[in-house]
């Protein structure tokens, strides 16, 4: 795999959750437009690995490069710069439920440097169309269904055309049709923007229907499955 195309590279890395090491000797590489799954039992290290990727957990041992940033020598000032190039989809969505759909997205644009309201509005309309929420722009988030909130979380993640998207259980508690639509959307984003996508999941059905590279967290090891 060409180093030039790598967006993520861990070599002999130790992944920690606080003082406890959950994964050791981790080797993982992810290139442009590549889709990859993380599987494993609860507590096996999936979420901790994702948190290390977006610099919420410190990398204490080994080498880790994400979007050109060295995780071992990452300053506090660099973390927001790196995260602007990433889209993050969390299990609990982390949306502002009392705000409208559009306001949730406008807030993200404003804090990532967008200034012109017309351009912000155009981008909001583009991503809402992409996730099938174009009719929900003015609706308050708390009134959306679980599937619609998940689509909004994805819309937020792709607003700035990220180079990488990381998703923690993006299809959790969703019906199969909605789960499929989300996976189709994520794969389309990966192809359209040459974005790397790393998904932690328990859903074996989507692994079977949307095959890609699969890594399993098991007994402190990260193992690539054939």
The string of pLDDT tens digits covering residues 51-71 is 999 999 999 899 999 999 999
Alpha-carbon gap, residue 12 to 197, rounded angstroms: 21
pLDDT for the residue 9: 97
Residues 6+ apart with CB under 8 A from 169: 91, 200, 201, 202
Q: Is the pLDDT reported for residue 213 higher than 90? A: yes
Section 12-21 average pLDDT: 92
Look at residue 165 in the predicted model and tell me its pLDDT: 94
Q: Identify each DSSP E strand in 49-185 by its residue range.
A: 61-66, 69-70, 86-89, 164-168
Query: In this predicted structure, what is the pLDDT of residue 209?
Result: 93
CB 124 within 8 A of CB 105: yes
Task: List the domains of the chain with CATH numbers.
Answer: 1-85+162-226 (3.40.50.300), 95-161 (no CATH)
Closest by CA to 81, choosing from 42, 126, 118, 113, is 113
pLDDT of 2 strictly over 80: no
Whether residue 158 has pLDDT greater than 70: yes
What pLDDT is recorded for position 113?
82
In angstroms, rounded to a whole number, what is the distance separating the alpha carbons of residues 179 and 163?
23
- Residue 4 pLDDT grade (very low, low, confident, very high; cuts 50, 70, 90): low
Going by pLDDT thresholds of 50, 70 and 90, the confidence category of residue 47 is: very high
The average confidence (pLDDT) of the chain is 91
pLDDT band at 94 (very low <50, low <70, confident <90, very high): confident
Determine the Cα–Cα distance for residues 159 and 128; give it in Å rounded to an integer: 10
The β-bridge relationship of strands 35-39 and 221-224 is unpaired
Mean pLDDT of 80-108: 91
CA–CA dist 53, 168 (Å, integer): 12
């Amino acid at each position: 795999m060409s180093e030039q195309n790598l967006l993520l590279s861990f070599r002999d890395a130790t992944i920690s959750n606080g003082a406890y090491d959950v994964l050791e000797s981790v080797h993982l590489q992810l290139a442009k437009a590549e889709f990859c799954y993380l599987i494993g039992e609860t507590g096996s290290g999936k979420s901790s690995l994702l948190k290390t990727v977006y610099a919420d957990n410190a990398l204490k041992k080994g080498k880790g490069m994400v979007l050109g940033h060295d995780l071992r020598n990452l300053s506090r000032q660099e973390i927001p710069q790196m995260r602007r190039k990433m889209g993050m989809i969390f299990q609990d969505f982390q949306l502002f439920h009392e705000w409208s759909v559009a306001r949730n997205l406008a807030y993200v644009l404003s804090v990532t440097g967008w200034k012109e309201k017309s351009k912000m509005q155009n981008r909001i309309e583009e991503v809402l169309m992409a996730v099938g929420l174009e009719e929900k722009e003015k609706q308050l988030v708390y009134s959306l269904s679980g599937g619609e909130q998940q689509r909004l979380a994805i819309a937020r993640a792709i607003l700035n055309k990220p180079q990488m998207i990381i998703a923690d259980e993006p299809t959790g508690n969703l019906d199969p049709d909605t789960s499929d639509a989300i996976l189709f959307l994520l794969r389309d984003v990966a192809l359209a923007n040459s974005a790397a996508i790393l998904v932690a999941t328990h859903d074996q059905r989507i692994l079977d229907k949307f095959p890609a590279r699969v890594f399993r967290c098991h007994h402190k090891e990260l193992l690539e499955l054939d």
